Amino acid sequence: MLFRSVVPAPKHALSLQQALELTNLYLENAYKAVDDDIALLLCHDAEVALSQAKSANKELHPQPGDINYQALRDGVAVAIIDLGKLLERQGYAGAAHTIYKKAEKWG
């Protein structure tokens, strides 16, 4: 691929905030996409970003009652549910069901 040799990857893993922001960008554009294939690809990218959020969450050591941390976790849960809704809309009820189960585990 042309860009793999041109565009460098980030030097470190994404933070939970960054992974959530990236996920939301993908989801927002998937909702707007007119082409179903593009929407599905954006859903895939959102799922990859959510896996980065999961990894980032494991690295965190929040203090009890940390409101910012809980807000980020809540935001990720909402993003997971949004991904499920998009998949349902695309006709992938089975995949949506799997995503909803991930939301239950996350929350």
Domain boundaries, the chain: 14-106
Q: pTM of this prediction?
A: 0.85
pLDDT band at 65 (very low <50, low <70, confident <90, very high): confident
Residue 30: predicted pLDDT: 97
End-to-end CA distance of the chain: 38
Q: What is the mean pLDDT of residues 41-58?
A: 92
Cα–Cα distance measured from residue 100 to residue 56, given in angstroms and rounded to the nearest whole number: 20
Cα–Cα distance measured from residue 84 to residue 92, given in angstroms and rounded to the nearest whole number: 9
Residue 8: predicted pLDDT: 64
Axis-axis angle for helices 67-89, 93-106 (nearest 10): 170
Res. 47: pLDDT tops 90? yes
Q: What is the mean pLDDT of residues 33-41?
A: 95
pLDDT band at 79 (very low <50, low <70, confident <90, very high): very high
